[in-house]
């Protein structure tokens, strides 16, 4: 009996020991298990991670081909159109297709090469379909912009490869320029010297049409046309000068006049009738209607007449920008930088002083403006000790 009880106790101890070993084994397996955030292989053996990359690449490729070959007349910025995205999109599609392998740094050169060749063949096939489907359409205008460096109008067109077309530029319905060309692949470009068609500013300063400029393109598949205005505003026809009196006041309140700051504005406005620009000056401030500023190329000579004649150095503007002075295509610009025109350089006596401006336009005529006339009273103002009665500069 004692033997039976001993055997039973041994069996119980063995069971407990086996149970402890099993629990320890389970804990060790649990601690050694690595959490995998994305199961790369399904129960059927399919690599779902790779499949997602490939499906994404197919979707991206199809979308890219539709955008590039079927909506390619869209201009993104500065003549950059969506068809310029072709090579980057094809490369991105190929990289995404092989993204799973590249991510794991498993480089199968055969797979990389075959996938690249397939994508190139599909790209060529899509291009062929696009060209074929567009064979019954005409040439269209894609973009029109002004090239300030070369004084040219840059044009770009879209159409079926090999299609002949004729470009016409009209001013107030009169053909001023014509050119024949042929589409290469799916795009054509041409530059026209501005002087070959320019007939004056397109607009008055109030925005109303003055000269209507139109581009027409004619081809077997039909005609296309568009008008353009602001880029054809190139001629400065108005220049005004304003002055601000510079003086010092002593402890007794007496003023001594040192000179003037001189600012100029140029633009279009004098040829706009009753709604045009005008010069007026009262109580030391410009009170007229300034011209509409534009971006253009010109040179200007400014002379102060009425006393000791003073001439500024010739001012040369490149698209409205004058080195060392500022940007005339936006607003008034100081002719003396941060300084001012000293009294001794131009002032002789109280009276009227004329700020004569001569503008030579790159496109358009040369004109001289003498409407900026301002009267100063410095001698009489300084002759009295009470500066509260000083007369301020005014138009004359």
Domain end call among 201, 232, 263 = 232
> What SS3 class is residue 44?
coil
Percent of the chain with pLDDT over 90: 46
- Position 300 confidence tier, pLDDT thresholds 50, 70, 90: very high
Residues 6+ apart with CB under 8 A from 191: 147, 150, 152, 153, 154, 155
Domain end call among 85, 103, 133 = 133
Residue entry with tokens 């068809």 = 83
Are 124 and 101 within one domain? yes
The average pLDDT across 32-36 equals 44
Quick check: is 43 in a domain? Answer: no
Question: 36 — phi, psi (to 5°)?
Answer: -105, 115
Q: How many structural domains is the chain composed of? A: 3
Domain end call among 232, 261, 292 = 232
Say how far apart CA 347 and CA 304 lie, in whole Å.
9
Are 272 and 391 within one domain? yes
Are 252 and 355 within one domain? yes
Quick check: is 41 in a domain? Answer: no
State the Cα angle at 317 between 293 and 277, rounded to 5°.
25
Q: Which domain holds residue 383?
A: 238-395
- For the question of whether the overall pTM of this predicted structure is more than 0.75, the answer is no
- Angle of helix 48-70 versus helix 109-133 axis, rounded to 10: 30
Look at residue 292 in the predicted model and tell me its pLDDT: 93
Look at residue 197 in the predicted model and tell me its pLDDT: 94
Are 208 and 333 within one domain? no
Are 345 and 263 within one domain? yes
Quick check: is 25 in a domain? Answer: no
Assign residue 334 a region: left if phi > 0, alpha if psi is -120 to 50, beta otherwise?
Answer: beta
User: Would you say residue 36 has pLDDT above 60?
Assistant: no
User: Would you say residue 40 has pLDDT above 60?
Assistant: no
Q: Which residue has the higher pLDDT, 60 or 71?
A: 60
Q: Which of 131-135, 269-273, 301-305 has the highest mean pLDDT?
A: 301-305
Look at residue 196 in the predicted model and tell me its pLDDT: 93
Are 53 and 102 within one domain? yes
User: Would you say residue 373 has pLDDT above 70?
Assistant: yes
Q: Which residue has the higher pLDDT, 56 or 22?
A: 56
Quick check: is 9 in a domain? Answer: no
Strand partners, 155: 144, 190
**Listed residue (302, 288, 301) closest to 353, CA to CA:** 302
Quick check: is 97 in a domain? Answer: yes
8 Å CB contact between 293 and 329 = yes
Residue entry with tokens 């692949």 = 185
């Amino acid at each position: 009996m004692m033997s039976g009880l001993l055997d039973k106790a041994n069996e119980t101890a063995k069971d407990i020991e086996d149970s402890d070993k099993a629990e320890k084994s389970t804990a060790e397996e649990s601690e050694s298990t690595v959490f995998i955030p994305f199961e790369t292989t399904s129960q059927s053996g399919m690599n779902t991670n790779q499949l997602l990359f490939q499906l994404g690449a197919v979707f991206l490729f199809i979308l890219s081909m539709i955008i590039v070959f079927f909506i390619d007349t869209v201009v993104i910025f500065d003549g950059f159109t969506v068809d310029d995205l072709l090579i980057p999109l094809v490369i991105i599609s190929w990289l995404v297709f092989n993204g799973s392998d590249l991510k794991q740094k498993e480089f199968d050169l055969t797979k990389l090469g075959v996938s690249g060749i397939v994508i190139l063949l599909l790209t060529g096939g899509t291009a062929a379909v696009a060209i074929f489907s567009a064979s019954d359409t005409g040439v269209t205008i894609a973009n029109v912009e002004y090239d300030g460096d070369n004084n040219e109008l840059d044009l770009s067109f879209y159409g079926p490869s090999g299609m002949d077309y004729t470009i016409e530029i009209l001013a107030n319905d009169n053909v001023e320029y014509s050119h024949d060309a042929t589409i290469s692949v799916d795009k054509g470009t041409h530059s026209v010297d501005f002087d070959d068609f320019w007939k004056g500013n397109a607009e008055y300063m109030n925005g109303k049409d003055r000269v209507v400029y139109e581009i027409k393109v004619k081809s077997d598949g039909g005609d296309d046309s568009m008008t353009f205005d602001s880029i054809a505003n190139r001629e400065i026809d108005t220049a005004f000068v304003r002055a601000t009196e510079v003086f010092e006041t002593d402890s007794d309140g007496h003023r001594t006049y040192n000179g003037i700051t001189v600012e100029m504005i140029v633009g279009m406005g004098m040829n706009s009738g009753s709604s045009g620009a005008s010069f007026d000056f009262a109580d030391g401030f410009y009170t007229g209607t300034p011209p509409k500023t534009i971006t253009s190329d010109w040179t200007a000579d400014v002379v102060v007449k009425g006393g000791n004649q003073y001439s500024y150095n010739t001012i040369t503007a490149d698209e409205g920008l004058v080195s060392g002075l500022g940007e005339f295509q936006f607003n008034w610009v100081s002719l003396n930088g941060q300084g001012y025109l000293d009294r001794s350089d131009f002032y002789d006596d109280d009276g009227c002083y004329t700020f004569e401006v001569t503008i030579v336009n790159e496109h358009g005529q040369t004109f001289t403006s003498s409407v900026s006339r301002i009267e100063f009273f410095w001698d009489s103002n300084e002759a009295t000790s009470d500066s509260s009665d000083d007369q301020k500069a005014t138009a004359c």
